[in-house]
């Protein structure tokens, strides 16, 4: 002879199961979003590395052209860096 849950017990069990399913779906969505963000972060890191390399190459080329100097990024004015004599 089989037994059967009461309607209230069945309803409670189904509600708990539905909540578990909902939480699993939410967790899956967060994991998916996290993966997308990680991809975006990696792309930004690559862009930062590329930009830093371009900046270094450009500054090196300007250094070869104008010597040791500083550049005002607003006006473009170049100020030579005076080298101090080192004691003997």
Sorted by where each begins, the domain ranges of the chain are 7-80
DSSP line for 43-82: HHHHHHHHHHHHHHHHHHHHHHHH-SEEE-TTT--EEEPP
**What span, in angstroms and rounded, lies between the C-alpha atoms of 10 and 5?**
6
The model carries a pTM of: 0.62
The predicted pLDDT at position 40 comes to 98
Print burial letters for 7-42: b (CB count within 10 Å at least 16), e (below 16). eeeeeeeeeeeeeeeeeeeeeeeeeeeeeeeeeeee
For residue 84, what are its two tokens?
């101090």
- Give tens-digit pLDDT for 36-63: 999 999 999 999 999 999 999 998 999 8
């Amino acid at each position: 002879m089989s037994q059967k849950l009461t309607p209230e017990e069945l309803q409670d069990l189904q509600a708990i199961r539905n909540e578990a399913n909902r939480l699993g779906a939410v967790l899956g969505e967060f994991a998916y979003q996290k993966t997308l963000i990680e991809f975006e972060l990696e792309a930004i890191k690559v862009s930062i590395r590329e930009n830093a390399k371009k900046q270094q190459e450009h500054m090196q080329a300007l250094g070869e052209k104008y010597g040791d100097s500083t550049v005002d990024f607003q006006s473009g004015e170049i100020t030579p860096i005076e080298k101090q004599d080192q004691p003997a």
